[in-house]
Amino acid sequence: MTLLDALRDVPTRLRNAARQVPTDDIDERDLDIDSSAHAAAGATAVTVALRRAVGQMGVRRTGSALLRLNQVDGFDCQGCAWPDPAPGHRHTAEFCENGAKAVAEEATKELLDREFFATHSVADLSDRSEFWLGKQGRITEPMVLRPGATHYTPISWDDAFATMAGHLTGLASPDEAVFYTSGKASNEAAFTFQLFARELGTNNLPDCSNMCHESSGSALTETIGIGKGSVSLDDVHRAKLIVVVGQNPGTNHPRMLSALEEAKANGARIISVNPLEEAGLVRFKNPQHAKGLTVGTALADLHLPVRLNGDLALFQAIGHLLVEWDALDHDFLSRYTTGFTEYVAHVADLDWDKVEASTGLSREQVTEAARMFADSPATVTCWAMGITQHHNAVATIKEIVNVALLRGDIGKPGAGLCPVRGHSNVQGDRTMGIWERVPDHFLDAIRDEFGFEPPREHGYDTVNAIRALRDGKVKVFMALGGNFVGATPDTDATEAAMRQADLTVHVSTKLNRSHVVHGREALILPALGRSEKDLTGGIVQRVTVEDSMSAVHASHGPLEPASPHLRSEVDIICSLALATLPDSTVPWAAMRADYREIRRRIARVVPGCASYDDKVEQPGGFVLPHPPRDNRIFETDSGRAVITSTPLEVLDVPPGRLLLQTLRSHDQFNTTIYGLDDRYRGVKGGRRVVFVHPADIDELGFRDGDQIDLVSEWEDDVSRIARDFRIVSYDQPRGCAAAYYPEANPLVPLDSTADKSNQPVYKSLVVRLERPGTATGGDGGGSADQGSGSSRTDTPHHMA
């Protein structure tokens, strides 16, 4: 049965699917490990998708939602930023298992009303896991936590806006307010949000991008003059080599696997660079057609099990070999680049011992990969969090750029750089000015359009916002979506910082940790989700979004809203502005009444968006300009693409320690835990696991299945502890380990950030394993620290 058959079959097969609201929290004693190998997607994915969808949304909503998902006249999937095929090339069921889960999570029939908040005190809620909180259902009306109160109580929208306006207008400086954005916000919401912050007088606009692809933005802007990827979906289909580095598409961008499959059918070869052999890249069954369900494809032709943080060395070594073999695009290099001569000198004395120590790969493996680059006339290199969340992430991405420049792989069909974005509109939010360091020309355009002078001083990014909260410099924290305390590093420190605020405000769909770790006063403002009809101002409103490949298109939801009291994000922002800024020069009421008024302003303010409202109306929307991709124009200081030379350093780990990455299971969206089934890695029923190589388990004196505490070590000598994890034997390079985010976030030091991008280092933490009770110091704390503490020894040996 294909995805489409399954959808048609929903009413008969799955009418009785069980509701999924847990009454009890996770019991890690139920954790089960299954060591058999799993193919990505396939028939199981179809079944899981439908069971979750029907279980949460019911039969009728499942049908109307999923058949409109990613369709030209439908709504954009909240699941990830992978682009949609051209309008004529979409499937009737154009979504994946995890997209269906994302929709189900939002469009659930479970509702969270005022009785819920009357029953559960904030203290009670702060003992629950993210999983439990999220599963309680959609928030249905605005709620307030008054100073000193134990429970959230209902508040009218007008009183909520008046409360916020009171706090904001009472600040000593607008810079005492912080406005955070998560990447689900539409372009219209993002544009109005940054406009409000700037009219109020601050550039304090941190966003989830600070934790996500900030390193990509830094590296690409410095080297090619624009912080976005240079490929289209068509380029992926036409590439002759696709390199997937530090990314797990089978879980996080499942529709990318279909694109890889198509590329392969067109003759592409694929290299996967990853410490883990992720299921999607090695075994894929395409659920879009019947044959694909049973016949799996091995997508990757070469898998390089790189040691964590070894990618800089890997790409420098590949560059070295390409120079040595003279496998270079000399015409491109001389016409468009600078820095080549220095680079040739730099890589000439490459230290292979260091390369092998850093990558954990043999010289033969590296040479085989370099050969594939040399043989390919058009290469696309994709990357995600496995690259961006390291201390040297910016330098690593510049090394990836070097290799692309050596081969002339920019601005050529079938070739290019492809940072694969996470949240469905995280790239659009940046385009719309959600950025604490937006360039002056953008601020000039705001001034010219709206007639006020925006602040010029740079604002706080995510990490600096936490520091400022901690230091008492921020009094009001407002979030447009997301789960700030759940997603950010150093959970203990961050939670303590957040409690310092006078007012915390969350525009949200579902409950999460950030609602229960609050300032002196707190507001929850429930928003419409993307799957829901938005009738603000009495007309059908559309919003627009931008995918990972700079394509912008319209989206509008088909479903009845979860509650009549919900408001759209645009409505909430414009209403707040009207309450806060009585002398405003911005037409807030008109923009709220008709979002086309916002789009008319976007057209005049945002580069590349002329005639925006007309262009987004076209089926499939339009693609934003990208000078390197379109014309090989590089808007850097020198007017050329920059080849960079970076010294090669090996990340040393002291004896008895492991290098830990934090990553996503197959059953979560960031801090939203869909379920407890990381199917491809064989973990079921729990999440507090740490994957370790069997020989390392042995060498460290533990056994598979042992219960341990994780303790991270960093230069500040603070012991950061996350308790009650179970060791799971798992194949990966020696010395490496992995645990799930957000459970492992207490281990990430706030000050451990990437050079230049200030992005938290989530993927290479030095940790030690300790027997329960022996670790002392700070506690993992909060929701991240629940666990039964019991141990089981009868676990199957799990080494994929």
Ligand X SMILES: Nc1nc2c(c(=O)[nH]1)N[C@H]1C(S)=C(S)[C@@H](COP(=O)(O)OP(=O)(O)OC[C@H]3O[C@@H](n4cnc5c(=O)[nH]c(N)nc54)[C@H](O)[C@@H]3O)O[C@H]1N2
> What is the C-alpha separation between 167 and 161, in angstroms, rounded?
10
- Residue choice 134, 254, 386, 422 for contact with Mo ion (CB under 5 A): 422
User: Closest residue to Mo ion, Cβ-based?
Assistant: 422
Cβ atoms of residues 273 and 304 within 8 Å: yes
Question: Measured from the CB of residue 25, what is the shortest distance to Mo ion in angstroms?
Answer: 26
Which one of 78-86, 90-98, 209-217, 231-239 is the stretch in contact with Mo ion (CB under 5 A)? 209-217
What residue 315 binds from ligand X, Mo ion, none (CB within 5 to 8 A, per partner kind)?
none
Q: Look at residue 512 and give the partner it binds from ligand X, Mo ion, none, a contact being a CB closer than 5 to 8 Å depending on partner kind.
A: ligand X
Count the neighbouring beta carbons within 10 Å of the beta carbon of residue 544.
27
- CA 342 distance to own-chain centroid: 35
**329 vs 532, which CB is nearer to ligand X?**
532
The partner in contact with residue 459, picked from Mo ion, ligand X, none with C-beta cut-offs of 5 to 8 angstroms by kind, is none
Taking CB under 5 A as the binding criterion, the range among 211-219, 270-278, 353-361, 410-418 that sits at the site for Mo ion is 211-219
Query: Please, which residue, 50 or 245, has the CB nearer to ligand X?
Result: 245
Give least dist CB 111 to ligand X, A: 14
Task: With beta carbons less than 8 A apart as the criterion, state whether 627 and 635 touch.
Answer: yes
Count of residues in the chain: 800
Q: Which is nearer to Mo ion, 580 or 671 (CB)?
A: 671
Residue count at the site for Mo ion (CB under 5 A)? 2
DSSP 390-422: STTHHHHHHHHHHHHHHTT-SSSTT-EEEE--S
Q: Which of ligand X, Mo ion, none does 664 bind, CB closer than 5 to 8 A by kind?
A: ligand X
Q: Alpha-carbon distance 151 to 303, whole Å? A: 52
Which of ligand X, Mo ion, none interacts with 259 (beta carbon under 5 to 8 A by kind)?
A: none
**Stretch in the footprint of Mo ion (CB under 5 A) among 59-67, 210-218, 460-468, 580-588:** 210-218
447 burial level (CB within 10 Å; 0-12, 13-18, 19+) = middle
| 246 contacts Mo ion (rule: CB under 5 A) | no
**Selected range binding Mo ion among 9-17, 287-295, 415-423, 522-530, rule: CB under 5 A:** 415-423
What's the closest the beta carbon of residue 541 comes to ligand X, in angstroms?
Answer: 14
Considering beta carbons, is residue 328 or 382 the nearer one to ligand X?
382
DSSP conformation class of 217: H
Q: Is 703 helix (H, G, I), strand (E, B) or coil?
A: coil
Give CA 221 to chain center in angstroms.
20
Burial class, 15, CB count within 10 angstroms (exposed 0-12 / middle 13-18 / buried 19+): exposed
Helix (H), strand (E) at residue 543? strand 543-546
Q: Which residue's CB is nearer to ligand X, number 2 or number 272? A: 272
User: Shortest distance, CB of residue 278 to Mo ion, whole angstroms?
Assistant: 17
Q: Give the residue with the Cβ less far from ligand X, 212 or 643.
A: 212
In angstroms, the CA 279 to CA 763 distance is 20
Q: Which does 762 bind (CB under 5 to 8 A by kind): ligand X, Mo ion, none?
A: ligand X
- Options 91-99, 207-215, 698-706, 734-742: segment touching Mo ion (CB under 5 A): 207-215
The footprint of ligand X (CB under 6 A) covers: 79-80, 98, 134, 182-184, 208, 211-212, 245-248, 251-253, 273-276, 278, 306, 308-309, 311, 384-386, 389, 422-423, 480-484, 487, 507-510, 512, 527, 529-530, 569, 661-664, 668-672, 741, 744-745, 748, 762-763
Least separation in angstroms between residue 614's CB and ligand X is 26
Q: Can residue 212 be called a binding residue for Mo ion (CB under 5 A)?
A: yes
| Rounded CA separation 620/617 (Å) | 8
Euclidean distance between CA atoms 324 and 370, whole angstroms: 11
Given a contact cutoff of 8 angstroms between Cβ atoms, the answer to whether 563 and 140 are in contact is: yes
Query: Which residue, among 349, 325, 441, 417, has the nearest Cα to 641 in the 3D structure?
Result: 417
Best CA proximity match to 563, nearest among 55, 133, 107: 107
> Nearest distance from residue 385's CB to Mo ion, in Å?
7
- SS3 string, 430-492, reads HHCCCCCCCCHHHHHHHHHHHCCCCCCCCCCCHHHHHHHHHCCCCCEEEEECCCHHHHCCCHH
Q: What phi and psi values does residue 571 have, to the nearest 5 degrees?
A: -55, -45
Comparing CB distances to ligand X, the nearer of 337 and 389 is: 389
Residue 275 binding Mo ion, by CB under 5 A: no
The residue (of 80 and 231) whose beta carbon lies closer to ligand X is: 80
The minimum distance between CB 475 and Mo ion, in angstroms, equals 28
Looking at the Cβ atoms of 104 and 642, the one nearer to ligand X is 104
Q: Which is nearer to ligand X, 288 or 671 (CB)?
A: 671
Nearer CB in complex with Mo ion: 40/212: 212
CA dihedral (568, 569, 575, 578) in degrees, to 10, reads -150
Which one, 386 or 411, has the nearer CB to ligand X?
386
245 binds, options ligand X, Mo ion, none, Cβ within 5 to 8 A by partner type: ligand X
Q: Which residues bind Mo ion (CB under 5 A)?
A: 212, 422
